[in-house]
Amino acid sequence: MKRIIWSLAVLIVLSGVAYWIYTEKGSTNTIQGELTDFSVKDTAAIDRIFMADDQGNTILLERGEEDWILNEKYKARPDGIRILLETIHKVRVKSPVSQPAMENVLKDIMGNHTKIEIYQGGSQPVKTYFVGSANQLHTGTHMLIDGSSRPFITHIEGFHGFLTTRYFTNENEWRDREVFAYQYGDIKSVSINYLDTPENNFKIVDKGDHETFDFFAGPNLEPVQAVNDVAVKGYLANYKLIHFEGFEETKPMSFIDSVMSNVPMFELELEQWDGETREVIGYRKPLKEGYDPEGNPIDYDLDRLYLYIDGEQFVVGQYTIFDQLTFRSRDFISG
C-alpha cells in the first residue's frame, strides 16, 4: 500500500513538473522574437545610438566618416564604442525573470534604468530596450524590450558579470581622451617652455624632409647646430599615442582656478603641416595630505599632474605618459 501511495505521489510531482515545463515553453514561445531579441546582428549598419537614464542624462553617438561623434560636438572614445557595439551584438537572454520577482524587477527597471535606442539609417530605431540593474548573483542584467511587459535576465556568453556599466551616460566618460595622435611626418614644429628652468627650453622645426630639423634651445631659443637628428626623430615618434587619464570632476572651480594661478611646469605647443595647433600646459597636482615612497610628507602628487588643453579642457594626466614628451634641450644636443 505504501509503495502505491509513493508511486502515486511521484507521478503527481512529475506531472506537475511536466505541466510547468510545457507552460513555460509555451509562454516563452509566445514572447519570442521582438520581445526577447535584444541583440542587433549587423552592428556595421548602426549609425546612431541614443541613451537616456532616469536622472535626465542623455548620450547621442553618431557614426562619422572616421570617428563616432558624441552629442554632436566631441569625438567619442573608440574603446567605449567598441565595447558598446560588442555588447549590442552579443547580448542574449539568459533566463526569464521568475514570476515572484517580476513585480520588484519591473519597479526597479522603471526607477533605475538606461533606455537605449539603436538606429540603422532610418528615423525610427530598429531596437529599443531598457537596461536595469544586475540580478542578485551579479551574473546577469535585467532588461526589458520597449513595448513588452516581461523583463528578462540577459548576459553575454563567456562573460562573467553584468552589463549595466557598459551603457553609461556620463558625457565626460564618453569623451575621447586623446591628446596627441600623430603619425611621423605630421608634425611641423613642437616647442616646450619650462618656466622654472628656461635653460631646458627647446623648439624643433621639421625642414620639410622629415629627416633633418632646425633646433633651438635655451631661454631665447637660440639656434643649435650640433643636433642629434636620430634623437629628434625618436622624440617626435612619441606623439603617436598620448592620452590623458580623465576629467577633474571632484574639485570646485575655485580649486581649479587656484591651480591655474600657479606657475606651470611646462607649456607645450605643437603645429601640424596643415596649420592646426595644439597647446598643452602642465601643472602640479596639489595634495592635501601626501607622502612619498619613503614616508616623507609632500605637497604634490608624484604620479599625476593637471593638464590644460587648448584653453578648454582641464584634465588629469599621468607622468608615466607625459614624461615621454617633457625632454630637455640637452637630450637632443650632440657632443
Render pLDDT for 270-312 as a digit per residue (tens, 0 to 9). Answer: 999 999 999 999 999 999 887 778 878 889 999 999 999 999 9
Quote the pLDDT of residue 213: 95
Give the pLDDT of residue 292.
Answer: 76
Q: Which helix (H) or strand (E) holds 174?
A: helix 171-174
61-70: average pLDDT: 96
- Strands (E) in the chain, as ranges, are 48-53, 58-63, 68-70, 74-75, 92-96, 114-119, 127-134, 141-145, 152-155, 178-180, 187-193, 202-206, 213-217, 222-224, 242-243, 246-247, 266-272, 277-291, 297-309, 313-318
Report pLDDT for 8.
Answer: 34
How far apart are alpha carbons 122 and 150 in whole angstroms?
27
Report the pLDDT value the prediction gives residue 237, as an integer from 0 to 100. Answer: 95
67-124 confidence digits (pLDDT tens): 999 999 999 999 999 999 999 999 999 998 988 898 999 999 988 999 999 999 999 9
Average pLDDT over residues 47-60: 96
Percent of the chain scoring above 70 in pLDDT: 90
C-alpha cell at 292: 612619498
The dihedral sign for the CA sequence 323, 329, 332, 335: negative
Least confident of 57-61, 166-170, 297-301: 297-301
Q: What pLDDT, on a 0 to 100 scale, did the predictor assign at position 14?
A: 29
The number of angstroms, rounded, from the C-alpha of 119 to the middle of its chain's C-alpha atoms is: 21
Task: Give yes or no for a contact between 170 and 74, defined as CB atoms under 8 angstroms apart.
Answer: no
CA 119/CA 53 separation, integer angstroms:
18
The pLDDT of residue 19 is: 34
Q: Comparing 50-54, 135-139, 156-160, which segment has the lowest mean pLDDT?
A: 135-139
CA distances (Å), origin 109, targets 37, 100, 133, 146, 330: 18, 16, 7, 12, 61
Tens-digit pLDDT profile for residues 175-185: 999 999 998 89
CA distances in angstroms from 282 to 44, 244, 291, 320, listed in the order given: 39, 12, 21, 14
> Is 201 within 8 Å of 193 (Cβ atoms)?
yes
Q: Most distant CA pair in the chain: distance in Å?
A: 110
| Residue 202 in this model has a pLDDT that exceeds 50 | yes
Is the four-CA dihedral 174, 177, 183, 185 of positive or negative sign? positive
Residue 16 is predicted with a pLDDT of 37
Whole-angstrom Cα distance, residue 331 to residue 335?
11
The mean pLDDT of the chain is 88
Section 141-170 average pLDDT = 93
